[in-house]
Copies of this chain bind each other. A is one copy, B any other.
Amino acid sequence: MGPRERRVREREEIRGKILDAARDLFVAEGYDAVTMRRIADKIEYSPTAIYFHFRDKDALLKELCEHDFLSLAQQFIAMRDISDPIEKLKATGKAYLQFGIDYPNHYRLMFMTPHPPITEHELEKDNPEEDAYAFLKAIVAQAIAARRFKPEYKDVDLVAQIVWSGVHGVISLQIAKQNDDWVDWRPLDDRAEVMIDVLVDGLAR
């Protein structure tokens, strides 16, 4: 363990500190409300120091999102051993909803904010353990193979996108409109459960 390794390790450490501080602030107050100077204050560095580790504010966001996409996929792993594909789909939908409820600010950044397209990912695409969308597709494929859906629903991507859109709709309206009393909102849990039931009933034979 020469001093070379120590330097690398120290560099990773401060990188991590910056990410942790940024995550805390973003989650608590949202991306726009957080300034580079506040992140810097929190870790007791100058604002400029952050730029030595990240190209800009967006790079911070991108790295956090990347991490959260992975952790979403990892939450899904708990559903792996449910054998009935419909039950598995329902449970995964609920886990997705729970993720959005638990981390609304993460969710907003991940799924409600247009980003410039990310060209290179850290995550392994199509691996269900790292790619939540691949996990969903695998369930849908399983359900189709078991002839549980109506015959017209045989496009795995299309069906996966419908299911995703449905649960996403519930969460994202909740996040964007929870304080809007124009609408007499029903409890989120009810909406979540009914959405999943309606989707599955609509797809099923």
User: Is A23 close to B, CB under 8 A?
Assistant: no
Complex alpha-carbon distance, A161 and B177, angstroms = 12
Complex alpha-carbon distance, A194 and B150, angstroms = 12
In the complex this chain forms, how many copies of it are found? 2
Taking CB atoms, residues of chain B closer than 8 Å to A32 are 32
* B175 and A133 form a contact (CB under 8 A): no
Within the complex, the shortest CB–CB distance from A95 to chain B, in Å, comes to: 17
**Selected contact of A117 from candidates B112, B181, B185, B202, CB within 8 Å:** B181
Within the complex, the shortest CB–CB distance from A192 to chain B, in Å, comes to: 9
User: Is A82 close to B, CB under 8 A?
Assistant: no
Contacts A167-B169, A172-B112 hold; do A185 and B198 have CB atoms under 8 A apart? Answer: no
* B201 and A186 form a contact (CB under 8 A): no
Sorted nearest first, the 9 A-B pairs with minimum C-beta distance are A169-B169, A202-B202, A198-B202, A165-B169, A201-B202, A158-B186, A168-B169, A117-B179, A165-B170
Could you name 21 residue pairs across A and B whose Cβ atoms are closer than 8 Å? A111-B173, A114-B175, A117-B179, A118-B180, A157-B185, A158-B190, A161-B185, A161-B191, A162-B170, A162-B195, A164-B173, A165-B166, A165-B173, A165-B191, A165-B195, A166-B166, A166-B198, A168-B169, A169-B172, A199-B199, A202-B203
